[in-house]
Amino acid sequence: MTPDRTPVKLILDTDPGGDDIFALFWIQSLVKQGFADLVAVTTAEGNVPAEYTFNAACQILDLGDLENVPVGRGVDVPFKQFSDASHIHGPDGMGNLSRTLPEIGQSFADAPFSDELLIEKLEEQPGAITIVAIAPLNNLAAAEAKKPGILTLAREIIIMGGAFQIQGNVTPCAEFNIAFNPQAAERVFDSRNDLVIFPLDVTRQLVFTRNIMEQIVQVNPQGQLTQFMKELAEFLTQSSLQYRETKGEYGFLVHDALTLAYLFYPETLRFSRARVSIETKGEFTKGQTLIDWRHSPKETANAWVAVDVDVPGFFTCLLEDLKTLVGITID
């Protein structure tokens, strides 16, 4: 007998972005299996400009038959430190594949801003919704600035961002999601004391290989979702090789998906309690995330930081759920 289960209520804060899309595919599978309830998607400016992240999220939701999920448009970011990462993800955020998908019915101009959507949903269900933040923290910081304390209404906030004992990916010491808007990150990290953080230290171990993709394709070789996933994986692989992200291994990094392993497959992870600080002023270190590892009394900790991942276990779970997704959506 299958025990009753209550789906985990999620808001995904995202800036699609290829690895964001694979995280969204995983959520779609978990929704269809009854494990997750996607309350809203709040898109953010980051990997590409806000209009493109909005369009990409809507197209991927439509592709997975989740077109009724509310989608917010990213707040304005006047003082961002970097332009975007379109050189990695393509100008549309999805490897120039947006043209292969139907046009969306939603209007970017008419969509609610993401900070307003966050506030609305958290106030409707205080303590019930987990925020999975896999983008620069523009939207969360804007919501907190507009309504101080609003982020404490989330059940949990899970963040992909930072680099501690490893080099950064946009500067020698800073990771993109934090460095894009360090002031926003600082506001969010100051908002509560139980953030869950997934830094590059662990996500750089997660190379999604051609072999994994081939196993997914075998389930439904001709499906539209399968074909899109395969073409996106190939684009991201070529981009990753060009920018030397995978040490020559044929694949791409699925940084953002690790946030979901915490919620649904926690046995694959190990954490350390820590006080995380954000450097917001340094000429060469702006956007760096810092932990004082010395054995001396600290300020109150504000986060659980992932320090280890069971890589084979993680990919076993991701693979089977993506196989389930493409099997469910046979055309």
Number of domains in the chain: 1
Residue 23 lies in a domain: yes
Residue 215 lies in a domain: no
Residue 100 lies in a domain: yes
Residue 71 lies in a domain: yes
Kindly give the parts of the chain with pLDDT less than 50: 1-3
Candidates 87, 89, 255, 295; catalytic one: 255
Residue 154 lies in a domain: yes
Q: pLDDT tens-digit profile of 155-194? A: 999 999 999 999 999 999 999 999 999 999 999 999 999 9
Residue 245 lies in a domain: no
CATH of the domain at 95: 3.90.245.10
CA distance 24 to 12: 8
Give me the domain span that covers residue 64.
Answer: 8-206+259-312
Predicted pLDDT at 329:
60
- 255 an active-site residue? yes
Predicted pLDDT at 304:
98
Predicted pLDDT at 84:
77
What does the chain come to in residues?
A: 331
Residue 62 lies in a domain: yes
Residue 221 lies in a domain: no
Considering the chain, what is the average pLDDT of its residues? 94
Assess contact for 135 and 14: CB atoms under 8 A: yes
> What are the start-end ranges of the H helices in the chain?
18-32, 50-63, 86-89, 114-124, 138-146, 176-179, 182-189, 200-203, 210-217, 224-242, 258-264, 311-328
Q: pLDDT tens-digit profile of 192-233? A: 999 999 999 999 999 999 999 999 999 999 999 999 999 999
Q: pTM for the complete prediction? A: 0.96
Predicted pLDDT at 331:
52
